[in-house]
Amino acid sequence: MPITDLLERNSKLYGEETALVEINPEIREEQRVTWKEYELIQPTSTTFYRRSITWSVFDEKANRVANMLMECGISKGQKCAILLMNCLEWLPIYFGIMKAGAIAVPLNFRFDSAEIDYCLKSSDSDVLFFGPEFIGRIENIAGHLRKNMVLYFVGDSCPTYAEDYFRQVSNASSLAPRVLVEDTDDGAIYFSSGTTGFPKAILHKHSALMHSARMEAVHHETTKNDCFLCIPPLYHTGAKMHWFGSLFTGSRAVILKGHSPEAIFDAVSNEGCTIVWLLVPWAQDILAALDSGKLKLENYRLSQWRLMHIGAQPIPPSLIKHWLEYFPNHKYDTNYGLSESTGPGCVHLGLENVRKVGAIGVPGFGWKTKIVDENGVPVAQGEVGELCVKGPGVMVEYYKNPEATAEVLKDGWLFTGDMARQDDEGFIFLVDRKKDVIISGGENLYPVQIESFLMGNPKIHDAAVIGLPDKRLGEIAAAIIQVKEGMEMTEEEVNQFCVDLPRYKRPRKIIFADVIRNATGKIDKPKLREIYCGERLVEKQNMS
């Protein structure tokens, strides 16, 4: 069945129950309204602290979006892009697009005008929903968008070149559109991170989206009584597919428009959240606030919080050990995935395997894995090779890019570009991105291993390791170290701490600076290399 059927089912079974809550921590808590009151006032989505929507109204809004699109000529298979910050309108628009038989195309809210233009054209999008934060970027490209492209502005003071979303959708029918949507139909196009150039368009069918929903519920034992706290951006498969567990079970979810430790704890406490997915920097910030006394557990209602899980990058075991000191009763999971595999979960640790923290885990529900050498031949157990995954969530293709598709899809296997090894219990350990491996004096250095070691130092808040050019060795490992607030650290201290590493793995250069991460919490290594390679190359030449 298509993913839209789950929304219709929830509307019938749980119609008057709350489906989604939006929390804006920047607004005073006293200003709270229901969705119905919000409709009458027509404010921007940043006016109120708390808004909510029931399953029946969620479905009704999606129907209105679908009918509005069909009235303006959108038919099955056409593409409709979404460029919005997290808000209560996001998911009804997403599902409305798919209810019309169209293909939803979420866009990264960090894209600049050129990237937005590229993604709209490469995905053949005919419609764009955008919010007030993007007016300037859209104005830059409005004059040369595709002919007859429809722009819907989701906010107040609609620009002259766009349609007023709220006015148009309120006039559309709330009845279910008469469009046959099947699980074999294309459902969504997601874009890769674009860290090595313009992003690639990743096409997924409804069947893949549906499997991710079922898998999320299985992996995290989600029930109708759970409440999921959604913090990461909804354009990303990580946030969306984790929320799909709530969709699958008909349980409540909270969209938090902020990620400070105080905002997260307020939401968990006030809304009774039981499942929270964090990115590494947010977990680090929470621990730092607890360590400093800025955040006090006794000030919040947290006993119902049963599961904390992290994804988007390798997780330092020291972080989880520290977390469990404050939350000994929490279950923990880490999830590995790619947008090409419908997001997180093709490999997952499992709630019962906290003893194996450091591993990304075992094949997820319905998935298979293998680790291969450069010729595609499986490596011996314990050896490092490229991780490949196969399952019902593998993408159809990179849209309109057969060459790039052929590079990563082979006989149904998705070649991830991640280097990994498997231990004697079958647990997979991520070693590093294939493109991030540092070759120094003929030795392969895997930055993730060094970063994980550095994160064991109590003074280090965050760490990233990149390769810098070197005349003699080709490359050397440089560690960018972000020291915890209020602490000081010297290069000598770092070098002394690293004596427990094999000599060839020790960083040759220490840089004290902030670690740059992208919107999904991953270390932005291309950006770090851009910043430091040119500056440090001169130093390396002088030292060689």
| Closest residue by Cα to residue 225 from 18, 3, 11, 8 | 18
Return the CATH number at 31.
3.40.50.12780
Single out the residue in 196, 230, 264 at which a domain terminates. 230
β pairing state of 474-483 and 509-512: parallel
pLDDT number for residue 37: 55
| Closest residue by Cα to residue 212 from 253, 232, 183 | 183
Q: What is the sign, positive or negative, of the torsion defined by CA atoms of 238, 255, 86, 214?
A: positive
**Integer CA distances (angstroms), 69 to 7, 13, 167, 332, in order:** 19, 27, 13, 42
Tokens 């009584």: give the residue: 225
| Any domain includes 351 | no
Single out the residue in 230, 245, 273 at which a domain terminates. 230
**Integer CA distances (angstroms), 353 to 226, 275, 278, 362, 368, in order:** 21, 17, 18, 10, 19
pLDDT number for residue 32: 58
**Integer CA distances (angstroms), 475 to 137, 220, 244, 507, in order:** 38, 42, 43, 11
Per-residue model confidence as pLDDT tens digits over 200-236 = 999 999 999 999 999 999 999 999 999 999 998 999 8
CA–CA distance, 421 with 431 (Å, rounded to integer) = 7
Task: State which residues form the domain around 466.
Answer: 441-543
| Closest residue by Cα to residue 205 from 399, 75, 401 | 399
Model confidence, pTM: 0.82
| Any domain includes 206 | yes
Number of domains present in the structure of the chain: 2
Which own/partner contact pairs does 329-334 have at CB distance under 8 Å and 24+ positions apart? Answer: 330/305, 330/306, 331/306, 331/307, 332/307, 332/308, 332/357, 333/219, 333/220, 333/307, 333/309, 334/309, 334/310, 334/360, 334/361
Is the per-residue pLDDT at 344 higher than 70?
A: yes
Of 3-17, 109-123, 296-310, 351-365, the range with the highest mean pLDDT is 3-17
| Any domain includes 387 | no
Sheet of 397-398, strand order: 163-164, 150-153, 125-130, 79-83, 103-106, 186-191, 201-205, 397-398
Tokens 């119609």: give the residue: 15
| Any domain includes 519 | yes
| Any domain includes 324 | no
CA–CA distance, 468 with 475 (Å, rounded to integer) = 5
Strand partners, 385: 420
Confidence of residue 422 (pLDDT cuts 50, 70, 90): very high
| Closest residue by Cα to residue 233 from 107, 149, 330, 122 | 107
Higher pLDDT, 224 or 374: 224
CA–CA distance, 18 with 88 (Å, rounded to integer) = 12
pLDDT number for residue 177: 96
CA–CA distance, 523 with 526 (Å, rounded to integer) = 9
pLDDT number for residue 36: 53
Single out the residue in 199, 230, 261 at which a domain terminates. 230
Return the CATH number at 498.
3.30.300.30
CA–CA distance, 473 with 461 (Å, rounded to integer) = 29
Q: Which residue type sits at 471?
A: K
Higher pLDDT, 17 or 26: 17
| Any domain includes 246 | no
pLDDT number for residue 138: 95
Q: State the distance between the two ends of the chain, measured CA to CA, in whole angstroms.
A: 63
Give me 199's structure tokens: 């992003």
| Any domain includes 244 | no
Give me 490's structure tokens: 């010297």
| Any domain includes 210 | yes
Give me 243's structure tokens: 């929320």
